[in-house]
Amino acid sequence: SDLQKQGERGELLQPLIFILLVVCSILLYFKVSLMDPGFVKSEEEAEAGKSEGQSMVIPEVPSNIKMRRCGYCMVKQPMRARHCRLCQRCVRRYDHHCPWIENCVGEKNHPFFIVYLSVQLVVLLWGGHVAWSGLYSEQSWDWLQHNILLLTSFFLIVIFTVVVLLLLISQLYLISCNTTTWEFMSHHRISYLRHSELENPFDQGVVLNLWRFFC
């Protein structure tokens, strides 16, 4: 009867939404970590995909751009792709290898990675609010003993919140510029950027960059 009364008063709605967000965050984590980030296919795999009538994710490369072979896995490496030594594969539109998901962030899973970070940030902020609301100001040793776990949880949530927030902000900034973490950090070592007349030849404006990335 108490549960029914709480439901009638709407007190169960917020915990239910929080649980759904946590479940969604977990599902997104496995989605991003287990899916193909955009591995470059070998010529044999590409030909097999064409013969079976499969839709090709890899777009046609303009004729003025020469594709080079990767020195590690020997596949034809399109522009903006990079070989990941941890995954031992070349990844299209390589951003970075994330140790938290133990997978590369590339062309296919990058949008899901941004959604995962956003949902995770909401969960952390909500969890931090719940932990803070459980604390009350009383300066005594007994209070510290009874609330040590809550205090520890709160400080851990704050640390993770700052990390996720900074990562999300930096990712959204790079996406709005149509560049990747690898291109941003290694601009001077990448041939197609170093020899380009433009500082960022892929930038088409903030709105169009965001539209092409998410839509």
Rounded to whole angstroms, how far apart are CA atoms 20 and 160? 20
Active-site hit among 90, 98, 104, 215 = 98
Is 87 one of the annotated active-site residues of the chain? no
Rounded to whole angstroms, how far apart are CA atoms 113 and 105? 7
Active-site amino acid positions: 98
